[in-house]
Amino acid sequence: MGTVTSIVVLFVCWTIRDSVKMKDIPEKHVFITGCDSGFGNLLAQRLHRKGFIVIAACLTEKGCQDLKACTSPTLKTVLLNVTNPKSIDSAVEYVTAETGNKGLYGLVNNAGRATPIGPTDWLDMEDFHRVLDVNLIGLIEVTLKFLPLLKKARGRIVNVASVMGRLAFGGGGYSLSKCGVESFSDSLRRDMQHFGVKVSIIEPGFFKTGVTSLEIIEKDLHRLWDRLTPDIRCSYGDKYFQNYLKVQRLSMKTLCSTDISKVTNCMEHALIARYPRTRYGAGWDAKLFWLPLSYAPAFIADIMLQLLLPRPICSKRSLAKNQVDV
């Protein structure tokens, strides 16, 4: 009974502590990457309405124009390609001029991409670089160059990782990059605590955004499949490719949530809570399946994930089944 009471008391205390919010939001500058659409776009609008001075970074001019069209002139936009050091330097100069001697209160590293993604031996090094350069290397460079402004304001850094950063599901640079975001954020948090800078990690499950566009994913999978050497393609079999496409369609159409506010709620809390959490699991699939599975023994996780993906024609089980049939 005493144990249950202690758990209840701790939960109530944590809930109260978690609900305490910062005051004096006006005059606080927040810089968000990847605001053309999805999480970044919605977060920029929400923070703008709450009184933050938002500087939204978009990859395209159209992204900037569309965001300005649905907000007021006080929201600022800037073009940013996180894989281009000169583009990052220009953004830093712009934000430095906008913030003056106040520094930057919030940095939300949201920009990212998922494709190319697929079985590992379908990919080459360029495929890995395309994702890692945006999701990890770009994120690190943006963070390092904005750190002086963040330390000046004793601000917040919010890095968008993924449940796939905790549990690798599918080959390619995406899981690698998100695992790297997790590690970089952990070391950054421990280093920056001495300067009053807080670092939070967002771990979304599956959501419908531009990154998870089924059209883009299928088009890239066809590109990967068409360029395979005959021996690799033969080892998988034509049925494997069709079944792999079916799995992608199933996951994108049935598992992906359309309510992306579940993610932006976490981002917002990390910026306005007096005591932001270290990690935020966003989405019921993340909280009830992916993150718990990441704590399971590796063989259990392997079995669960094998059930979700088709088997190559040359897999050990497929070969054994064919021998029995013969």
Residue 53: Cβ within 10 Å count: 21
In order, the DSSP letters of 294-311 are HTS-HHHHHHHHHHHS--
Catalytic annotation on 275? Answer: no
Handedness of CA 204, 205, 206, 207 (dihedral sign): negative
Residue 186 CB partners (closer than 8 Å, separation 6+): 201
Q: Nearest to residue 198, comparing CAs of 141, 269, 142, 260? A: 269
Catalytic residue among 174, 236, 244, 280: 174
Residue 26 CB partners (closer than 8 Å, separation 6+): 51, 53
- Residue 310 near residue 243, CB atoms below 8 Å: yes
Whether omega for the bond prior to residue 116 falls within 30 degrees of 0, making it cis, is yes
Residue 179 CB partners (closer than 8 Å, separation 6+): 165, 166, 168
Question: What's the CA gap between 182 and 27, in Å, rounded?
Answer: 30
Give Cα 319 to chain centroid, integer Å: 38
Question: What's the CA gap between 305 and 169, in Å, rounded?
Answer: 7
Residue 226: Cβ within 10 Å count: 8
Catalytic residue annotation: 174
